[in-house]
Amino acid sequence: MKKSVKIIIAIVAVLVVLGATVAGLFFGGVFDLLKPTRKAWTKQVQKALGLEKVKVTDYADFLDEYKDIYNKPFTSKMNVSAELNISELDKDVQKTINNSKIVLETNRKPDSKENQVKITLNSQDEEVIQLDVITNKEKVAIGSKDLYDKYLAVSLNDLFKTAEKSGVKTSTNSVIASPDYSKLMEKLEQINPYDLIYISKDDLKSLEKAYSKAIENSIDKDNYTKKGNVKVKVDGKDVRATGYYLTLSGKETYELIESLTKTIKDDETTSKLIAEKANILLDAIGEDKIEANDSKKIVELVMDSLMEQLEYSAYGDELTSAKKLKDMDDQGIQIVVYSKWNKPVRLEVNYVKDMKDIYDTNTFLSIEYGKKKDIYTFLPGESNSVVITDEYSKKSKEERKGTLTVEYKSIKFGTIDYEFINKKHESKLYLKVNVPILNVEASMEFSSKGNYKKEPVEVLYSLDAKFGKESIKLKAEGTIDYTADVSIPSLSSDNSVDIFKLDSKEQSKLIEDIMKKASEVLPARLKLLGINIKAEDIYSTQKTTTTTATIPTISGITKTPTTTTTTPKSSVSTDEKLIAKKEETDEAMGKYIQIIEVGYKNGTAVSATMAMEFNDEKTATTILTALKMANDDSLKDYDISQDGKKIVIKMDIDSFIKQEELSKEDLKKDTLKKDLEETGYTVTIK
């Protein structure tokens, strides 16, 4: 991607954030225009939308609290459970899940980038197994006191180097294979989201001044009008109210947007903020920083492009004959608030058919404010109108509770019960959706309670969904403590083993020790979950070699072996060998050379060997170790070992026939040679 494109992307991202901020300030009352009719219209809109008490300091207070929480170390403990009743899911699996409880314990130190998560699986109030994961700037480690006395650690640099050497192909291959990947990740982790959204109070005041001036200069006082004793519908009743109107022709709408666009391009505070935020992103991806003037030029290009598209936008009764927006002075758009005793009773967004009579309109959207009821209607009076009725029992800045009813074409579609709480030391989001015509009912809740500066905060996350006879229940509850001392073990040679530093014998010994311990511990523990497994199913004292349930085949497509009872035969003498080689690339194993060797005795195939040759011995060791850790029982047919850079898979000829789905006729030398060459192999016979 070219540097200029990256810079434009970064700046557009910042523009979106700043645009949202400026819009919030406008409707929040920061731009409280001083002309009497303008001021009256602004106040009524703020009241109608519940924004009259919103202040700049609210955003600043939010930022201060966000920064404080984001940088605080914390500990947390969550109890997680599930209850499933799904016909398509295996009953034994459901029973296991329903009988299980998970405890998640987290320790986090933001400053040092250290994290620890303990995952404990319980059943019937007894522990089944516990995993302990630690991450820091350099390593990832996993441990289990039940299976091994040390953490198994991986250096991130070694991991990336191994991926690079093996040529692993993933959607992020170009990044992962880069030697600078760890540095890039470290820079990205150092980005504090707070820095991206922070705007100082002085800058907020500067934005207020610049954009309020742009709006004031673009909207003439005559665009604001007032009309008394207007009859409007509110919850089915006729109400006499005063209307406060803002009406703009298409041309005036274009000029307003043009003025705001010019302010975005010319305002020094805007350019400075865009450069600051864009530089945070550019620095993280290794690009040079930009100056405010650079950002100004790019913003000009972006905004000019948007205005060029807007110039050809239009609206009207007949779009096919609509004029350019900037030339349309006979039609327009209108926002009106109707108030009675200085209290909004109805808000409308209207299309003005003829600017000569601004009160002759078609309504796009209306909001009616009844008694403990708000009614939102899209395309009122049309056959395809959508009506959302909000009947509430509580409505304040801190708390709101009620039920939304949705109707389409006068047919009741469903309801949404809700509750929002946004108090200083308590928050809650509760939603319950009921759609009878789809036989769906679902509820979710996120809540927290407690002063994080003084005490642990109680948190709850839950989901309860029913689809006919099917149901899912998920629940996580516990505490987050920002006041506790946070302790995370430091990874050292005394308490951890770096598996990439071990040779193949040491890795095999490590796996053997873990599997042996697992065979002693897990059978009794897993019975608590209703899983019956024998010790010998996990670890056998007989010498066996295992891998995953998939190995490469002649076609290059990974298959699952179908045989499970045959014991590998000893070496069979041969008088002739067919050897085939082909370069392959696998998403998990990277690049390697696949080798197939079939031995013949008196013209009959009697043995088969398959091998994968990698770029170096360490890559082969790492991949073989990962394969062995799967401990898949279905590969007892095969003798799998390492020979330098190769992973060698030996099998008897019957197993080879089943693996490749061949017949004995297919194994004739000339036939097999021809088939292999047609699939890209280089074949020799010795």
pLDDT in tens, 472-487: 999 999 999 998 789 9
Q: Check whether 540 has a pLDDT greater than 80.
A: no
Hey, what long-range contacts does 406-414 have (CB within 8 A, 24 or more apart)?
408/384, 409/383, 409/384, 409/385, 413/437, 414/438
Residue 667 burial by Cβ neighbours in a 10 Å radius (0-12, 13-18, 19+)? buried
**Residue 5: what pLDDT?**
41
CA–CA separation, 165 and 173 (whole Å):
12
The mean pLDDT of 212-236, rounded to a whole number, is 89
Token representation of residue 43: 């106040």
Residue 183 DSSP class = H
Q: What percent of the chain has pLDDT over 70?
A: 80
Contacts of 66 (CB under 8 A, 6+ apart): 194
Contacts of 415 (CB under 8 A, 6+ apart): 403, 404, 405, 406, 433, 434
Token representation of residue 414: 């469903």
For residue 132, what pLDDT band results from cuts at 50, 70 and 90? Answer: very high
Contacts of 428 (CB under 8 A, 6+ apart): 419, 420, 421, 445, 446, 447, 448
Contacts of 591 (CB under 8 A, 6+ apart): 166, 167, 583, 584, 585, 614, 615
CA–CA separation, 327 and 249 (whole Å):
9
Residue 385 DSSP class = -
pLDDT in tens, 234-244: 999 999 999 99
Q: Which of 483, 473, 623, 609 is nearest to 548 (CA)?
A: 623
**Residue 502: what pLDDT?**
85
Q: CB–CB of 181/160 below 8 Å?
A: yes
Q: CB–CB of 566/637 below 8 Å?
A: yes
**How far is residue 206 from each of residues 30, 200, 223, 295, measured CA to CA in Å?**
11, 10, 26, 18
Q: Check whether 563 has a pLDDT greater than 50.
A: no
| Phi-psi region at 116: left, alpha or beta (left = phi > 0; alpha = psi -120 to 50) | beta
| Phi-psi region at 611: left, alpha or beta (left = phi > 0; alpha = psi -120 to 50) | beta
Helix, coil or strand: residue 33: coil
Chain length of the chain: 686
Q: CB–CB of 186/137 below 8 Å?
A: yes
Q: Check whether 172 has a pLDDT greater than 70.
A: no
150 vs 205, residue with greater confidence:
150
pLDDT in tens, 332-391: 899 999 999 889 999 999 999 899 999 999 999 999 999 999 999 998 877 788 999 999
Helix, coil or strand: residue 582: strand
**Residue 164: what pLDDT?**
59
**Residue 44: what pLDDT?**
86
Q: Check whether 35 has a pLDDT greater than 90.
A: no
Q: Check whether 556 has a pLDDT greater than 70.
A: no
CA–CA separation, 264 and 12 (whole Å):
12
Q: Which of 117, 118, 148 is nearest to 130 (CA)?
A: 118
Q: What is the mean pLDDT of the chain?
A: 80
CA–CA separation, 667 and 673 (whole Å):
9
Helix, coil or strand: residue 7: helix
Residue 40 burial by Cβ neighbours in a 10 Å radius (0-12, 13-18, 19+)? middle
**Residue 388: what pLDDT?**
94
Token representation of residue 311: 């110039």
| Residue indicated by tokens 């604001």 | 224
**Residue 320: what pLDDT?**
34
HSE at residue 463, side-chain half, CA atoms within 13 A, is 9
Got the DSSP string for 61-126?
A: HHHHHHHHHHTS-EEEEEEEEEEEE-TTS-HHHHHHHHTEEEEEEEEEETTTTEEEEEEEEEETTE
**Residue 180: what pLDDT?**
53
pLDDT in tens, 408-466: 888 888 999 999 999 989 999 999 999 988 889 999 999 999 999 999 999 999 999 99
**Residue 183: what pLDDT?**
57
CA–CA separation, 267 and 295 (whole Å):
12
Token representation of residue 535: 């010790």
Q: CB–CB of 23/319 below 8 Å?
A: no
Strands 361-370 and 373-378 turn out to be antiparallel
Helix, coil or strand: residue 263: helix
Q: Which of 532, 646, 547 is nearest to 592 (CA)?
A: 646
Helix (H) or strand (E) holding 576: strand 576-586
The strand ranges marked E within 279-378 are 332-340, 343-352, 361-370, 373-378
| Residue indicated by tokens 């058919």 | 353
Beta partners for residue 225, in sequence order: 245
Residue 586 DSSP class = E
CA–CA separation, 102 and 81 (whole Å):
6
Helix (H) or strand (E) holding 134: strand 126-135
